[in-house]
Amino acid sequence: MMASVACIGECMVELRQAQGGASAGQGQGGGLYSRSFGGDTLNTAVYLARLDVKVDYFTALGDDALSDEMIAAWNAENVGTRRVVRLPGKLPGLYMIQTDAKGERQFFHWRDNSAARQLMSLPETDELLNSLMSYDIVYLSAITLSIYDAPGRERLFAAIKRARLLGTRFVFDTNFRARGWPDRDIAREVFTTAFAIADIVLTSTEDLLALWPGESHEQLMARIPTPELVFRLPEPVSLLRYPGGASEVRAEPMTKPVVDTTAAGDSFAAAYIAARLAGAEPVEAALSGHRLASLVICYPGAIIPGYAMPPKKRHRPAASRQAAK
């Protein structure tokens, strides 16, 4: 049986500023925007599917035309939608991206009443959470946790703990956005809880220094007790800690210009998880993550064209947890 991943989070309508063609009073891009869909865990789910990992996306959407388009787009990418709850009268959230000349992005969000925020408080929630134990990996990010209230997070963490008793692994990506949290003390508390139950943590200096400013790499890594840790530095380097060792993994030098850094971390996560599920050791998985991220940032938007995906690298086959029972 193919290994499987449950990705939990939110996909939103994405408005991206058009390039060039500025008009007087309209600013860069002439006030024109292109519309697509995006979200950190959804981006990871798409890249996982493209890397031949069976993945289901857990979220809530409305019963509107935009939500219909999202479902169709995910199905086209082979992302499973059987765990998507449709809520009558609700809508997906919306965000807008502006990028500067270096490809760095700025986000503006409208998501306070989005359908996804209700996922942990629905009649269907118990069934969804109980299904987590049927997956090899549960993957979510700090952005996922930020959209739920405290009881919702507790409910989710309790379900993950139950699933881990049956062999499911929990992968936590620290993708931190300050605007999503009431204050940083709450964020620090939630991060600490996630660290304590995670099997793999994917993090970065950018995320952790925002919560624990001034600490060294060693101090930040010491806060995370998980057995497997990937700590990305500002330069394209990852520090790895895993049972039996620790390594520094450097990305290959870039040969193309950086266009847009959106989804660099999301694609890294997908390639890392896919490689680990396929039997790669952590160092090899991190190299796979760097390779995909380095390619993704050479294209505009979170999801690159399918033809631009790198050739699939074959690792030692690894049976799924369910198949091994």
Catalytic residues: 266
Query: Buried (b) or exposed (e) across 39-78, using 16+ Cβ within 10 A?
Result: bbbbbbbbbbbbbebbbbbbbbbbebeebeebbebbeebe
- By 3-state DSSP, what share of the chain in percent is helix, strand and coil, each rounded to 5? 40, 25, 35
CB-CB neighbours of 280 under 10 Å = 21
**Helix (H) or strand (E) segment spanning residue 290:** helix 282-296
CB-CB contact of 60 with 116 (8 Å) = yes
Q: What angle do CA 35, 37, 40 make, to 5 degrees?
A: 135
* Nearest Cα residue to 154 out of 127, 131, 125: 125
Q: Which amino acid is at 36?
A: S
Q: 33-38 and 4-8 as β-strands: parallel, antiparallel, unpaired?
A: unpaired
218 phi and psi angles, rounded to 5 deg: -65, -40
Question: Quick check: helix, strand or coil at residue 135?
Answer: coil
